[in-house]
Amino acid sequence: MDVGSRRTLNRRLQHLKLCGCDFNNMHEYFGYKDTKDNIRKISLTRDLNLANVFKLTIRQKKSALNPLQTYIAELPRDMNNHIYSYIAVNRRITYSLEVPSDFPFRPLIWSLISFKENGVTKPNYDTNPNDMYCGSDFSPAMSLESQILMYLSNLTWLHDS
């Protein structure tokens, strides 16, 4: 990454911080409101060795069933609560985001690091973020955070309430 591109990226990141974006709590910046049944966490960290590489982590814990409907009357409440804690769906997707040397004139390069659902590693994930743009659809106006938000909007399970 050349000096000009690095400077542009650093200015953009500084602007995000001034606008109130906490990279450890990007879900708040993007307006994802948690409910008692759906908790989300989105964080972005910069690689310590490479200035143009980031790690994006998306987590979700969603209760699949209503405890009032699945309550077993013969069991104590503590046991029901313990059983209910295992009914939740836990997802965690981690991507490596590489900012190309001619940023912002080319989109981010996404590489899947891992995708786990309830602790089980899935070999791949259906939605490939590198396929978000077709031909000349990409615009230099698409900033780092808007590309991330565009990908998040394609994750239907993240939006289910």
How much is the pLDDT for 110? 92
The answer, yes or no, to whether residue 12 has pLDDT greater than 70, is: yes
End-to-end CA distance of the chain: 40
The answer, yes or no, to whether residue 135 has pLDDT greater than 70, is: no
Report the predicted TM-score, pTM, of the whole model to 2 decimal places: 0.80
What is the mean predicted confidence (pLDDT) over 145-161? 81
Q: Max Cα separation, the chain?
A: 67
Ramachandran class of 131: left when φ > 0, alpha when ψ lies in -120 to 50, beta otherwise = alpha
CATH of residue 37's domain is 3.10.110
Q: Find the domain containing 68 and state its range.
A: 3-159
The residue with greater pLDDT, 160 or 52, is 52
The answer, yes or no, to whether residue 140 has pLDDT greater than 80, is: yes
How much is the pLDDT for 150? 87
Q: What does the alpha-carbon distance between residue 75 and residue 14 come to, in Å, rounded to a whole number?
A: 54
What is the mean predicted confidence (pLDDT) over 23-48? 87
What is the mean predicted confidence (pLDDT) over 11-19? 82
CB count within 10 Å of CB 78 equals 8
How much is the pLDDT for 156? 77
78-129: pLDDT as tens digits = 887 777 777 778 889 999 999 888 888 888 899 999 999 888 888 766 677 8
How much is the pLDDT for 63? 78
Total domain count, the chain:
1
The answer, yes or no, to whether residue 160 has pLDDT greater than 70, is: no
